[in-house]
Amino acid sequence: MDFSKSRNLFTRAKKSLAGGVSSNSRIKELPSPPFFNKAIGSKIYDVDQNEYIDYVLGRGPLIFGHSPKFILTEVKKHIKSGQIYGTTTKLEIDLSEKIKSIFPDMELVRYATTGTEVVELALRLSRAFTYKSKIIMFEGQYHGWTDNTLIPESNIQKNSMLNSEGIPSQSAKNIITVPWNNLNLLEKIIQENHSEIASIITSPAPECEINKNFLTNVRNLCDKWKIILIFDEVITGFRLSLGGAQKLCNIKPDLSTFAKALGGGFPISMIAGKYNIMSLLENNKVYHGGTLNSNIMSLSAANAVISHLINNHQNIYTHLYEIGNELISGIKLCAEKHNIPVIINGNGPMFKLSFLHDLGRSKINKPSIYKQFYKLIIQKGIRVEYGDHSGSIWFISTQHNLNDIKITLKAIDSVFQNISKN
């Protein structure tokens, strides 16, 4: 495959754009970040005219694939009359009423533009509501890129483990990171710090897996110690089911954050939750702003997405799970055939593929199988996330079909064969 035009554009991009990208996670891609100029359904095309079956889907938002007509038609219809009015619109009420019909316990909602912003607002609301300042997060979970959240390592012993320069060490002092699924340690930390803990924030499906038992225990601890439970459903919301991961595990958080799939590719995020917490925004006690919040383009897209999901959710999620699980079983079969140690977490609409030997790779100093896999699979016209050194999340859309899966599995079979020879 030829990537020369993408390479040239990347060289040009780096001269005017910091790192050649607008999000750090895009820097790493090999052979260089691809430059795409067209995407329809499950396919994406780069400037070198390579076609790929796309399992990145804009890093999650595109549950209806690229360029879904029903969303674009709605957006085009509404933006003819204006893009941003800077006030509440009827579209905003329509959307909120639909959201409340899906989540009857969520009494109030607010919209913003990115997932990072609504997570930030959830943390602020929890602190304002409880008059406490510490937040518990779980190791390795991503909740956006702010000073409050970019603290992935355990800081139980060492408070200044931040993974970006420029974050004041005071930020880490208010965050306690705890290993996932370690109930005893979580209980101990809460017992020791409860007078200072405002909230616990977690993805309900970290690494794509819902651990109902642990989440139930977290909910119980929050109830016991009067701590706000925040589910960050930015990636799982409307993707794993109409009611998100929380519906699948039947646990009700106090606050929830959504983004990605809500806009089907348009920039919109949402925080939703109980009246007594969310109403702190009503009387201006807690501040939330955003010039672009609830712009007409994003609201019309989200209304189209949510209406479509409400009307067709059974077919939609059946398709996402069937297609995703077909791919997963096929990958497992290929792995068995070529003796490749794959690990797959999650199922259906979103799963993580990694390789056993890559876990703890830095310690055993072995080349990452995932890196080899990534380099080879892209050459076969299959687009997956670069991810971390050990794996990445695969996203499925309603536009992926059995033929895409057949082509993908043929490519994976050949790549695994190649890797097993080395």
- What is the closest distance, in whole angstroms, from the C-beta atom of residue 232 to ligand PLP in the complex? 5
Q: Closer to ligand PLP at the Cβ: 260 or 338?
A: 260
Task: Select from 30-38, 68-76, 142-150, 218-226 the region that touches ligand PLP (CB under 6 A).
Answer: 142-150
Q: Which stretch binds ligand PLP (CB under 6 A): 141-149, 168-176, 189-197, 402-410?
A: 141-149
Q: Is 61 in the site for ligand PLP (CB under 6 A)?
A: no
Give yes or no for a contact between 297 and 78, defined as CB atoms under 8 angstroms apart.
Answer: yes
Closest separation in Å from C-beta 293 to ligand PLP: 14
Q: Whose Cβ is closer to ligand PLP: residue 232's or residue 358's?
A: 232
d(CA 138, CA 217): 14
Contacts to ligand PLP from residues 68-97, by CB under 6 A:
none
* Minimum CB distance to ligand PLP smaller for 167 or for 335: 167
Q: Which residue is nearest to ligand PLP (CB)?
A: 115
User: Which of 46, 54, 74, 232 lies at the binding interface for ligand PLP (CB under 6 A)?
Assistant: 232
Choices 1-9, 108-116, 223-231, 370-378 (CB under 6 A): range interacting with ligand PLP: 108-116
Interaction between residue 352 and ligand PLP (CB under 6 A):
no
The 191-220 site mask, x for binding ligand PLP (CB under 6 A), equals ------------x-----------------
Of 9 and 122, the one with the shorter C-beta distance to ligand PLP is 122
Nearer to ligand PLP (CB atom), residue 121 or residue 227 = 121
Q: What is the 3-state secondary structure (H, E, C) of the chain?
A: CCCHHHHHHHHHHHHHCHHHCCCHHHCCCCCCCCCEEEEEECEEEECCCCEEEECCHHHCCCCCCECCHHHHHHHHHHHCCCCCCCCCCHHHHHHHHHHHHHCCCCCEEEEECCHHHHHHHHHHHHHHHHCCCEEEEECCCCCCCCCCCCCCCCCCCCCCCCCCCCCCHHHHHCEEEECCCCHHHHHHHHHHHHHHEEEEEECCCHHHCCCHHHHHHHHHHHHHHCCEEEEECCCCCCCCCCCHHHHHHCCCCCEEEECHHHHCCCCCEEEEECHHHHCCCCCCCCCCCCCCCCCHHHHHHHHHHHHHHHHHHHHHHHHHHHHHHHHHHHHHHHHHHHCCCEEEEEECCEEEEEEHHHCCHHHHCCCCHHHHHHHHHHCCCEECCCCECCEEEEECCCCCCHHHHHHHHHHHHHHHHHHHHC
Closest to ligand PLP by CB, 68 vs 115, is 115
From the list 303, 330, 350, 346, the residue with the least C-alpha distance to 404 is 330
Please pick, from the candidates 78, 143, 219, 308, the single residue that binds ligand PLP as defined by CB under 6 A: 143
326: number of CA atoms within 13 Å, CB side?
17
Residues from 109 through 138 that contact ligand PLP (CB under 6 A)? 114-116, 119
Looking up tokens 């006030």 gives: 87
Per-residue x/- track, 249-268, ligand PLP (CB under 6 A): ----------x---------
* Residue 144 lies near ligand PLP (rule: CB under 6 A): yes
> Is there binding between residue 331 and ligand PLP (CB under 6 A)?
no
Nearby residues of 318 by Cβ (< 8 Å), 6 or more positions away: none
User: What residues are paired with 108 via a beta bridge?
Assistant: 273
Please state the closest distance from residue 334 (CB atom) to ligand PLP, in A: 28
Of the two residues 33 and 369, which places its CB atom closer to ligand PLP in the complex?
33
232 vs 404, beta carbon nearer ligand PLP: 232
- Applying CB under 6 A, the site for ligand PLP has a residue count of 12
Q: Is 234 in the site for ligand PLP (CB under 6 A)?
A: yes
Cis, peptide link before residue 31, omega less than 30° from 0: yes
Stretch that binds ligand PLP, among 122-130, 180-188, 220-228, 231-239 (CB under 6 A): 231-239
Comparing CB distances to ligand PLP, the nearer of 31 and 152 is 152
- The minimum distance between CB 267 and ligand PLP, in angstroms, equals 8
Q: In the complex, which residues of this chain contact ligand PLP (CB under 6 A)?
A: 114-116, 119, 142-144, 203, 232, 234-235, 259
